[in-house]
Amino acid sequence: MTLTQEDLQAISQLLEPVNGNVQGIREDVSGLKEDVNGLKEDVNGLKEDVNVLGKKMDVLEKKMDTLEARVEILEKRMDSFEVRMDVLEGKMDSLEKRMNVLEDRMDLFETRMDAFRDRMDMLEQKMTLISVSLENETNNNIRILAENHLNLVNKLNEAIPAVGKTTLYEVQVSVMQSKLDFLEKEVGELKAKIA
């Protein structure tokens, strides 16, 4: 089968719309190629943006790692601070207890001092009574004894002229000295009891 000129023209006429369509498709493909090239450029721009973003994310991750490390250090410091605060609170509690004990001891000391003052007042009253008693009674009795003793010595001197009045005075002083020693001893014992 051979094709005639007419056949070829008929085929050519039939192909003309196809050629027009192919030309339209070619133009569409060219437009698509341009769009694809534009997309490629956009994708390349996106890739660059993603690379920049990736670098920024790396920097951000490093900063986050540094921040986490600093937070851990801060937490350790806070833990250390809490421990030190607990120790300080313990010391403060201990100091407070010791202060309470000291206050109790001071209260006891004040009570004892009040009792001591009362006893000293009582002792002063007794000393005053003893002093009054010495002045009024004992000294008077010693004087009476000394006078009577003087009379005896005078009578003895009349009987024995060798004994003088100095011996009498020595006896009187000796008696007074022994009584004074006795009283000093009593006062010393009273003071020792009060202390």
Give the model confidence (pLDDT) of 25-54 as tens digits. Answer: 778 778 888 888 888 888 888 888 889 988
The overall longest dimension of the chain from CA atoms, in Å, is 212
Q: Give per-residue burial for 43-70: e unless 16+ CB within 10 Å, then b.
A: eeeeeeeeeeeeeeeeeeeeeeeeeeee
Q: What is the dihedral of CA 174, 177, 179, 183, to 10 degrees?
A: -170
pTM value > 0.75: no
**pLDDT at position 65:** 92
pLDDT at 186 over 90: no
Residue 68 pLDDT > 80, yes or no? yes
